[in-house]
Amino acid sequence: MVAFTARAHTNIALLKYWGKVDQQLIIPTTTSISLTLDEFYTETTVEFDPALPNDQITLDQQPLKEKDRHKISIFLNLIRTQAQINTFARVQSVNHVPTAAGLASSASAFAALAGAGSAAAGLNLSQADLSRLARQGSGSASRSIFGGFVQWDRGTDHQTSVAHPLQENVDWPIQLLTVIVSDQPKKINSRGGMQNAMQNSPFYQNWVERSNGLVKPMQTAINQHDLATLGTIAEQNALEMHAQNMVANPPFFYLTDISWQIINLVQDLRQSGLQVYATMDAGPNVKIISHPDDTPTIKSALFKILPEISIQVATPGPGLTVWQNGAAHA
Ligand SMILES: Nc1ncnc2c1ncn2[C@@H]1O[C@H](COP(=O)(O)OP(=O)(O)OP(=O)(O)O)[C@@H](O)[C@H]1O
Ligand SMILES: C[C@@](O)(CCOP(=O)(O)OP(=O)(O)O)CC(=O)O
């Protein structure tokens, strides 16, 4: 059969997804809003081949670990069922983003796999159906089908829990400075962490209500290109997500001393008049939401306190692209 390749970019949530109502279908407790990023992406090629005795999967030219391979095969089963085929697949994936370090590699990974896998299986899915499919691999992947600002409606079932673009072409100045504290895989993955928080934080229900209440204000901030309100809401929502983990029993932490140094610096810079805001996912890295003009000031302030730190500038990025191997890539 024919091989297809897909490229999907990561996204960083401005309003976080942190808990599931349905573990199997991946229906979240909250509606989330994200920004797709240009600089970090996954490229995946899929070919179904009747000669294969099982699914063969490589990530960055290395065979995947058994647990991760199993996860991909289960996901491919969703595609096989829909396409009514029972052939195994050859999957080659390359991450242009550190894997499992809280930089949303699972988002770009499953969005790319949904795109290449469904095309290679002969399915011609709509973007909404690709989002529903990607969601079942990793919740945040539902948002990486689209570019720019994206909203994943929590919904109540497979049909209604789907992402849609809020603003695909972002033509106003906003960037995320990603401060890489560590590019090593984290100890507690997102899946385990959110489950832990949901079951063991006494304030979890409060998080759900507050987070869902921030959807409208965040939409308004995006519509009005209001960086200050957008950043304020995003920082508040990220800290509240981490607070759930800190008050869980037993507590657990993604943020390290260095993460807190950066968060404190962001607050200091804000007090000095800059529009800078921090957001953090399931890892120690801090993403600084900011205006591109302020990059030199923010970078020099960061290097002053952390001379060894690595910083990547990320701007709004596009949605999923899929092409047949051998065909020209638009
Ligand atoms: N390109 C890929 N192909 C297949 N699986 C991948 C790929 N990239 C990542 N993964 C899988 O996703 C897992 C990482 O997902 P996880 O959600 O734990 O962390 P993350 O990448 O930091 O993303 P997030 O910020 O969404 O938590 C990896 O352990 C691996 O199983
Ligand atoms: C903190 C987050 O990045 C968590 C992402 O979690 P995942 O989408 O990786 O989780 P699973 O659905 O279990 O695969 C917040 C977000 O991206 O909304």
Let me know if residue 205 belongs to a domain.
yes
Give 138 Cα–ligand 2 centroid separation in angstroms.
Answer: 7
What was the ipTM of the complex prediction? 0.93
pLDDT at 22: 98
Between CA 191 and CA 67 the distance in angstroms is 14
Q: State the pairing for strand pair 89-96/56-59.
A: parallel
Q: Do both 232 and 257 map to the same domain?
A: yes
- CA distances 76 to 27, 101, 115, 138, 164, Å, are 19, 24, 11, 13, 23
The number of the ligand 2 atom at minimal distance from the alpha carbon of 191 is: 13
pLDDT at 55: 97
- CA distances 198 to 139, 242, 254, 264, 284, Å, are 16, 12, 16, 27, 20
What residue numbers bound the domain in which 261 lies?
175-314
Give 119 Cα–ligand 1 centroid separation in angstroms.
Answer: 22
Q: Do both 9 and 132 map to the same domain?
A: yes
Is residue 328 over pLDDT 60? no
Q: Do both 164 and 218 map to the same domain?
A: no
The answer to whether the bond into 50 is cis (omega within 30° of 0) is: no
pLDDT at 327: 67
Give 141 Cα–ligand 1 centroid separation in angstroms.
Answer: 10
pLDDT at 186: 75
The pLDDT tens digits of the residues spanning 248-280 come to: 999 999 999 999 999 999 999 999 999 999 999
The pLDDT tens digits of the residues spanning 243-253 come to: 999 999 999 99
CATH number at residue 114: 3.30.230.10
- Closest Cα to atom 14 of ligand 1: 100
> What's the one-letter identity of residue 320?
L
Q: Do both 66 and 104 map to the same domain?
A: yes
Q: Do both 61 and 152 map to the same domain?
A: yes
The pLDDT tens digits of the residues spanning 135-154 come to: 999 999 999 999 999 999 99
Let me know if residue 209 belongs to a domain.
yes
**SS3 category, 171:** coil
pTM for the model: 0.96
- Closest Cα to atom 14 of ligand 2: 138
Average per-residue pLDDT in the chain? 95
Let me know if residue 107 belongs to a domain.
yes
pLDDT at 329: 58
Q: Is the Cβ atom of 55 under 6 angstroms away from ligand 1?
A: no
- Tell me which of 130-134, 178-182, 284-288 is least confident: 178-182
Q: Do both 17 and 123 map to the same domain?
A: yes
Let me know if residue 329 belongs to a domain.
no
Q: Count the domains in the chain.
A: 2
Q: Do both 156 and 201 map to the same domain?
A: no
Let me know if residue 153 belongs to a domain.
yes
Q: Do both 232 and 303 map to the same domain?
A: yes
The number of the ligand 2 atom at minimal distance from the alpha carbon of 110 is: 14
The tokens for 77 are 């089963």
Residues forming a β-bridge with 178: 287, 312
Q: Is the Cβ atom of 11 under 6 angstroms away from ligand 1?
A: no
Give 292 Cα–ligand 1 centroid separation in angstroms.
Answer: 28
Let me know if residue 330 belongs to a domain.
no
Give 299 Cα–ligand 2 centroid separation in angstroms.
Answer: 28
Q: Is the Cβ atom of 142 under 6 angstroms away from ligand 1?
A: no
Classify each residue of 177-197 as buried b or exposed e, where b means 16 or more C-beta atoms within 10 Å of its C-beta: bbbbbeeeebebebbebbbbb
**Confidence band (pLDDT; 50, 70, 90) for 18?**
very high
Let me know if residue 165 belongs to a domain.
yes
Q: Do both 75 and 186 map to the same domain?
A: no
Give 272 Cα–ligand 1 centroid separation in angstroms.
Answer: 37
Q: Do both 230 and 202 map to the same domain?
A: yes
The pLDDT tens digits of the residues spanning 44-82 come to: 999 999 999 999 999 999 999 888 999 999 999 999 999
The pLDDT tens digits of the residues spanning 84-139 come to: 999 999 999 999 986 655 566 899 999 999 999 999 999 999 999 999 999 999 99
pLDDT at 181: 85
User: Ligand 2 pocket: which residues have CB below 6 Å?
Assistant: 13, 16-18, 26, 32, 104, 106, 138-140, 190-191, 281-282
**Confidence band (pLDDT; 50, 70, 90) for 182?**
confident
pLDDT at 183: 74
Q: Do both 80 and 229 map to the same domain?
A: no
CATH number at residue 253: 3.30.70.890
**For residues 35 and 316, is the Cβ–Cβ distance under 8 A?**
yes
What sections of the chain are H helices per DSSP?
66-83, 105-120, 127-135, 190-200, 204-213, 215-223, 227-246, 257-271, 295-305
Q: What is the mean pLDDT of residues 17-28?
A: 98
Q: Do both 29 and 113 map to the same domain?
A: yes
Q: What percent of the chain has pLDDT over 90?
A: 90
**For residues 318 and 43, is the Cβ–Cβ distance under 8 A?**
no
